[in-house]
Amino acid sequence: MLHRATIVSMLVLGPALGMAARRHASPRPTTTRANAAPQHAPAATTRHAAERTVWDSVYSAEQATRGQASYNQTCARCHQASLGGADDSPALTGSGFLGNWNGLTLADLQERVKTTMPNDDPGSYGRQLITDVMAYVLKMNGFPAGAKELPAEPDALKAIRIAPKP
């Protein structure tokens, strides 16, 4: 049963909420053009020699099959069996998806899923399940499978970048 909300009004001088909300605010107009350029986004242009991309067979077919089963149970209800997305759920395949993640690493993608999914109980999925689903997503985006599984550890995923076909 739902009880009526208790409403607590309090007068504050602003610092707590105000500062929290303005943590990232720039206090004054900047003086450069292209002014809203990313300040916190991971550096997309820094590439290390040893770094791999999603084209380097970074997951196994067996893992993708495992991920497909999890995906259909947990993700498809919003993102669709096709991964095509819906009115309120972004596509997980195609240029819209790759465009948003291009240049970033699989650790970034894993962290985003871990933080926000599932919508009704965010953070409740383990990294292994998320990583298996990521393997399925990679497969459905046409990236090749290989012999080894995609590792679930964020540090290992940091070394694999989402990139256009070289």
Partner 1 sequence: MSIVNRSTVLVALALASAPVVLSAQAKPAANAVVPLTTAAGEWPSYTGDTRGSRYSPLDQINKQNFGTLEVAWRFKTDALGPRPEFKLEGTPLMVGGKLYTTAGTRRAVIALDAVTGELLWVHGENEGERGAAAPRQLSGRGLAYWSDGKEERILYVTPGYRLIALDAKTGAPVPSFGDHGMVDLKTDIDQTILPDLITGEIGFQGAPVVGRNVIVIGAAFKEGTAPRSKTNNKGYVRGFDVRTGKRLWTFHTIPKKGEEGYDTWLNGSAEYTGNTGVWTQVTIDEELGLVYLPVEEPTGDYYGGHRPGNNLYGESVVCLDLQTGKKKWHYQIVHHPIWDFDLSAAPILADITVEGKAIKAVALPTKQGILYTFDRVTGKPVWPIVETPVEKGDVPGEWYSPTQPIPTKPKAYARNGVSLDDLIDFTPELKAAGVAVASKYKLGPVFTPPSVSKADGTIGTLTLGPTNGGTNWPGGAFDPETHMLYLAASNSAPSVLGLVQPSKDRSDMDWIAGFAPSAGGGRGGGLSVQGLSLFKPPYGTLSAIDLDKGDITWQVPHGETPDAVRNHEALKGMTIPRTGQSGFIVGTLVTKTLVIAGDPQVTTLPTRARGAMLRAYDKATGAQVGEVLLPAPTSGSPMTYAVGGKQYIVVAVSGGPYSGEYIALRLPSAGGR
Q: Which two tokens stand for residue 113?
A: 């899923």
Strands (E), 63-163: 145-146, 160-161
* Total interface residues for partner 1 by CB under 8 A: 89
Q: Which two tokens stand for residue 20?
A: 């929290």
Q: Which stretch binds partner 1 (CB under 8 A): 100-108, 126-134, 146-154?
A: 100-108
Q: Are strands 160-161 and 52-53 parallel, antiparallel or unpaired?
A: parallel
Does residue 82 bind partner 1 (CB under 8 A)?
yes
Least separation in angstroms between CB 153 and partner 1? 18
Least separation in angstroms between CB 90 and partner 1? 8
Distance separating alpha carbons of residues 68 and 85, to the nearest angstrom: 16
- Candidate residues 50, 87, 147, 155; the one interacting with partner 1 per rule CB under 8 A: 87
- Candidate residues 57, 70, 78, 159; the one interacting with partner 1 per rule CB under 8 A: 78
Site for partner 1 in 36-55 (CB under 8 A): 36-42, 44-45
Q: Which two tokens stand for residue 80?
A: 């669709």
Distance separating alpha carbons of residues 130 and 115, to the nearest angstrom: 11
Does residue 124 bind partner 1 (CB under 8 A)?
no
Binding letters toward partner 1, positions 5-34, x by CB under 8 A: xxxxxxxxxx--xx-xxxxxxx--xxxxxx
Distance separating alpha carbons of residues 122 and 90, to the nearest angstrom: 16
Does residue 119 bind partner 1 (CB under 8 A)?
yes
